[in-house]
Amino acid sequence: MKYVDEFRDPDMAKRVLERIHAVVEEIPVTRDRPLQIMEVCGGHTHSIFRYGLEELLPDKIEMVHGPGCPVCVLPMGRVDDCVAIAEQPDVIFTTFGDAMRVPGSRKSLQQANSDGCDVRMVYSPMDALDIARKNPHKNVVFFGLGFETTMPSTALTLLQADREGITNFSLFCNHITIIPTIKAILDSPDMVIDGFLGPGHVSMVIGSAPYEFIAGHYKRPLVIAGFEPLDILQSMLMVVEQIKAGRAQVENQYKRIVPEQGNSNALKAVGEVFELREFFEWRGLGSIDHSGVRIREKYARFDAERIFAVEPAHVADPKACQCGEVLKGVLKPWECKLFGEQCNPETPIGALMVSTEGACSAYYSYGKIDIRQAV
Amino acid sequence: MCLGIPGQIVSITDEALQTGVVQVSGVKREANLSCVVPADGNLQSLVGSWALVHVGFAMSIIDEEEVQRTLQILAEIGELQEELDAMQHGA
């Protein structure tokens, strides 16, 4: 496929890997401990496991799999809210497929569907709007979740519904923002991250400027990375070269997609429809200030939270669950007491076992479970 | 969740709605082009361009020059490593 195959060339990957190995050997700190590099985005986590990149990197680099899997960090209480809305009469609840299996405290959306609710998977929020057009006597709710990558699509869909005067469409807004979460991880006292692979597709919307504080204040390098194996390896090389040279800068490996200033049309739509919440609850990480958005008063008639009078209920994460520690890189997935036994992809207990973009699920699915026995 | 896929914009469906047809790996589907409308508003000029498509929205026009530049840098990394290897083995 054009613009994909070029970035999967195994010979080229081998050379870049050799270069990474050579550069890491010249970083003095790696004599005492491995470098901890966090890939923020769940899409990167998925690629890293799919292509077995972690195995190919030097032992002196440890990947820390970050919080950028929106399905994984969705708190149980929000899933309960989705189910409660889906259970209302005359509701068609629409969602991206990823969210179907996320466990709530009572049931998942998939179970709600089996129990008779009308829950439908859609590829695009525009498809949900189309369902609303075709079902004028039903209330069609779209479950808006995801980071800045996905926010413009739901904002533009809502604006389209507004232009057409559609009255039976609403958005259950659970969008989250990545910057406050990276900051929370950097402020955590047990934080040990040496550098970051920045989220490529979030960055195509927000640009590179919002990350400057990571380099400026926290003195950590961040390289905005694409999603193909060569993108990830080249970005990793750029991170370790910065560490070797004692630099901390925001660099952009994914320039073919990510303009420095982001996407002004997308940001305009997002700003028109959404405003920051004071705080938002994350599975595994707890409440993080200004880490989510809600629909502005102006568009209240499209806000499922207001229409269905949802009072966000706090449901505690399961007690033995150690997703928070794994997200911060303090624990490896297999070091969690629940990993592989009570908590597995079929019956996930913790956030990171839910989606294929979650670190625990990736370790489990790609055969890394044996590592647990080896430790 | 944040994944996107390169697709080619093959036609404009509705100028007012800013929608068009994108072809991804041979599959055609309607996509919203609002995020990639050029500054002059000329949607037709997008036909033939490649875009990163995410949940039915064209989110960024792929910059062909930057594609070539990145591939060039990768090729240079490869050449550098080969040269270093040769030096090491020759020593």
CA angle A8/B56/B18 to nearest 5° reads: 125
Is pLDDT above 90 for A236?
yes
What are the pLDDT digits (tens) for A284-306? Answer: 788 899 999 999 999 999 999 99
Could you say which DSSP state residue B34 is in? G
What is the SS3 assignment for B7?
A: strand
**Residue A124 forms contact with B (CB below 8 Å):** yes
Q: Is the dihedral of CA A301, A305, A307, A309 positive or negative?
A: negative
Q: Kindly indicate the confidence band of residue A212, based on its pLDDT and cuts at 50, 70 and 90.
A: very high
Is pLDDT above 50 for A310?
yes
Backbone angles phi, psi at A299, to 5 degrees: -110, 30
With a pLDDT cut of 90, the percent of chain A lying above it is 69
CA angle A79/A83/A85 to nearest 5° reads: 115
How many beta-carbon contacts under 8 Å exist across A and B? 138
pTM of the entire structure?
A: 0.93
**Residue A139 forms contact with B (CB below 8 Å):** no
Instruction: Give the C-alpha separation, A282 to A294, whole Å.
Output: 15
Interface probe with B: pick from A39, A149, A239, A357, most Cβ of B within 10 Å: A149
What are the pLDDT digits (tens) for B31-42? Answer: 999 999 999 999
What are the pLDDT digits (tens) for A319-370? Answer: 888 887 887 778 888 899 999 888 998 888 877 888 888 889 888 888 655 5
**Residue A31 forms contact with B (CB below 8 Å):** no
> Does the structure's ipTM exceed the value 0.85?
yes
Is pLDDT above 80 for A317?
no
pLDDT, residue B85, reads 81
The one-letter amino acid at A164: E
Buried b (16+ CB within 10 A) or exposed e, A67-91: bbbbbbbbbbbbbbbbbebbeeeeb
What is the SS3 assignment for A186?
A: helix
Neighbours of A292 (CB within 10 A): 23
Pairing of strands B50-54, B5-14: antiparallel
Instruction: Give the C-alpha separation, B78 to B70, whole Å.
Output: 12
What are the pLDDT digits (tens) for A6-31? Answer: 999 999 999 999 999 999 999 999 88
What are the pLDDT digits (tens) for A130-154? Answer: 999 999 999 999 999 999 999 999 9
Cβ-defined contact of B71 to A6 (cutoff 8 Å):
yes
**Residue A201 forms contact with B (CB below 8 Å):** yes
Residues of A in contact with B84 (CB under 8 A): 22
Instruction: Give the C-alpha separation, A66 to A48, whole Å.
Output: 12
pLDDT, residue B91, reads 52
Burial class (CB in 10 A: 0-12, 13-18, 19+), B89: exposed
Is pLDDT above 50 for A372?
no
Q: Kindly indicate the confidence band of residue A71, based on its pLDDT and cuts at 50, 70 and 90.
A: confident
Which of A255-264, A358-367, B58-67 comes out lowest in average pLDDT?
A358-367
**Neighbour order of strands in the sheet with A91-95:** A118-121, A91-95, A139-146, A169-175
Interface probe with B: pick from A20, A21, A257, most Cβ of B within 10 Å: A257
Instruction: Give the C-alpha separation, A200 to A231, whole Å.
Output: 10
Average pLDDT over residues A175-179: 95
Is pLDDT above 70 for A374?
no
Among A144, A151, A193, A147, smallest CA distance to A170 is for A144
Residue A332 — left, alpha, or beta (φ > 0 → left; ψ -120 to 50 → alpha)?
A: beta
Which residues fall within 8 angstroms of residue A339, CB to CB, at 6 or more apart? A333, A360, A363, A364, A369, A372
Residues of A in contact with B7 (CB under 8 A): none
Cα A343 to chain centroid distance, Å, stands at 20
Q: Kindly indicate the confidence band of residue A80, based on its pLDDT and cuts at 50, 70 and 90.
A: very high
Q: Kindly indicate the confidence band of residue A73, based on its pLDDT and cuts at 50, 70 and 90.
A: confident
Helix boundaries (H) for chain B: 64-90
pLDDT, residue A66, reads 86
Buried b (16+ CB within 10 A) or exposed e, A214-237: bbeebebbbbbbbbbbbbbbbbbb
Instruction: Please identify which residue in the block is written with the tokens 């999603």.
Output: A227
Cβ-defined contact of A234 to B73 (cutoff 8 Å):
yes
With a pLDDT cut of 70, the percent of chain A lying above it is 97
Find the closest chain A residue to B4 by CA distance: A201
Question: Around A329, how many Cα atoms within 13 Å sit in the side-chain half-sphere?
Answer: 25
Residues of B in contact with A96 (CB under 8 A): 1, 55
